[in-house]
Amino acid sequence: MSLPDTAQRAPFLATLRRIGRLAWPYFQSEEKWKARGLLAAIVALNLGVVFMLVQINEWNRTFYDALQNKQLDAFWQQIGRFTWLALVYIVIAVYKFYLTQVLQLRWRSWLTDHYLARWLANKAFYRMELARFTGDAAQVPDNPDQRIQEDLNIFTDSTVTLGMGVFNAVVTLLSFVGILWTLSGPLSFHAPAFLGGGEWTIAGYMVWAAVLYCVVGSVIAHFIGRRQVGLNFRQQWLEANFRHHMVRIREYSEAIALDGGEAVERRQLDTRFTAVMGNYLRLIRSQKNLTWFNSFFGQAAIIFPMIVASPRYFSGAIQLGQLMQISSAFGQVQSSLGWLVDNYMGIAVWKATSDRLAGFEESLGQQSRPNEDFSATHEAGGIAASQLHVALPDGHTLLADGRLHVAPGETVLVTGPSGSGKSSLFRALSGIWPHARGQVNLPADTMFIPQRPYFPDGPLRDALAYPQAATHYSDEALQQALRNALLPQLATQLDRADAWGQKLSGGEQQRLSIARALLKRPAWILADEATSALDEAAEATLYARLVAQVRQAGGGIVSIAHRSTLGPFHRQRWTLTPTSDGGSASHHLDTATADAPDRTPGATPTMGTKA
């Protein structure tokens, strides 16, 4: 499996535009006034924090002047003033933190709801998985569960935190650069010969010193840490693949145990985990190098303004209070200008996460588009299709220009060799196959019974009634459906919660799926190898009940099967057979009357194909 790396290489400005497209919908949603109100409150509180820092900076000058002059009354007065300043600062800081977390919570909740709705709408979740395993995996986002659960959390947290960080840095810079300019005064020196000699004077030299210090630091930090964006992107991908493989082992635990595949799976897990650890080691080495620099940069910033401003202090031009105020103001300016240095690792994680979400967003947009070449209706009168074209994801044709009709009361058995397209035909009829075009009519009262049914974890009654709510049915109806599906031992366990997809055997799962059909009593049933795990006696009993039910409801049944034992339950047989069409794969669907003693004249499905 190759790393999908197209997103991580996007230019930074393009990434910012993509992030804007991810972020802006929330602030235009039905929650826009709450979102904008929270954002405005957080901005105001950030301004309040900067204002308090300016007041504390001014306090530094008065307090240290009092210390230098040994003014006891002024000393205690400034202690009292600092108490009030600190108290107000703490209140503002606490509410800034709280409202920031509330905004992140609301934003994440809205985004999660938004993406879950889009992922589950228009079969996008199915099409994305289908494209991933049958198409170009590098162009399809991996692990949508991680992107919705983890990446959205990181994105909202990082966007608010870093966004407010930038805003705070800009406001702090604008607030303190004037103070530092005024306090630092001019610096005069004799220029060396290569600069032309003479006397030079630099106004506000401490500001220029801070700018030079931070520009040099930012360039070095970017040079050291630039690999972290790609490494973080890859780390998230590798972690998700490692977790995904463990989920697959849980899902196929019985098959792996029967095959004795533990050693193979351990090697697969070891390979994935080794990749996780190898990339993580490279990431922490890069972070170590950046931490070395950040530590030196931060510690040097403490003493650097003292060194630069000390000549004026020792010459008597400024007092201790002004020196401390210069140091404090320089620290605020340096912190603002050095914001990139201090937050480079967080920016790397944020960019990698945003790139993953942007790729997910683009894929959702593509996979959720309706198939304009396919139209479906849900009118009564039977199953019908015209000009039906069914292809594989690689473009090879399975069925061309198909025409079919299944009248009420009819039963059809679809046969053919494995890979001939029987299941793809069913998917096309259901409207979920993206590689189909044509017109299909499927009565609204139609139910599909797959070979591998899905059961949600929880009470048995919910698994039986899925996807409807179990409250739609009485306990008597639920229990009778289980007994009719040859599962009497489960009839008394409706309220038992379990992982039914793993708890039940393959045959029991198929019988529970048939119990759904017997419970809901649809007029039309499309069954894809729905009894392949059952013995012949159970299969005969259940099919007799299904056929009787659909005939009583005035519908019909279309089945896919390889076993000949289902022949007597179907009046018609459609056989998909491979044909040759200039080297491309295509199939012909032959229709014939099956040997069935209860055949009713006048209800014959028809189908034609172009090979």
In the chain, where the domains are located: 7-187+200-367, 374-593
Residue 196 has what pLDDT?
Answer: 60
Name the fold adopted by 374-593. Answer: Rossmann fold (3.40.50)
Residue 581 has what pLDDT?
Answer: 52
Residue 254 has what pLDDT?
Answer: 60
Domains 7-187+200-367 and 374-593 share a fold: no
How far apart, in whole angstroms, are the C-alpha atoms of residue 170 and residue 165? 9
Asked if the bond preceding 605 is cis, omega within 30° of 0, the reply is no
Residue 497 has what pLDDT?
Answer: 92
Q: Which residue has the higher pLDDT, 216 or 98?
A: 98
Residue 418 has what pLDDT?
Answer: 79
How many Cα neighbours within 13 Å face the side chain of 425? 35
**562-608: per-residue pLDDT in tens?**
888 898 999 988 887 766 554 344 555 555 544 444 433 333 333 43
Assign residue 158 a region: left if phi > 0, alpha if psi is -120 to 50, beta otherwise? Answer: alpha
Q: Please compute the mean of the pLDDT values over residues 127-155 and round it to a whole number.
A: 74
Q: Helices 152-184 & 72-120, crossing angle to 10 degrees? A: 150
Q: Where are the alpha helices (DSSP H) in 338-495?
A: 339-342, 344-367, 422-430, 460-465, 475-484
Residue 600 has what pLDDT?
Answer: 34
Q: Looking at mean pLDDT, say which of 71-80, 126-135, 477-486 comes out highest.
A: 477-486
Say whether 526 sits in a helix, a strand or coil: strand
Considering the domain 7-187+200-367, what is its CATH architecture?
Answer: Up-down Bundle (1.20)
Q: Residue 232 corresponds to which tokens in the numbers above?
A: 């973080």
**481-527: per-residue pLDDT in tens?**
999 999 999 999 999 999 898 889 889 999 999 999 999 999 999 99
Percent of the chain with pLDDT over 70: 87
Residues in Cβ contact with 312 at an 8 Å cutoff, skipping those fewer than 6 apart: 185, 318
Assign residue 204 a region: left if phi > 0, alpha if psi is -120 to 50, beta otherwise? Answer: left
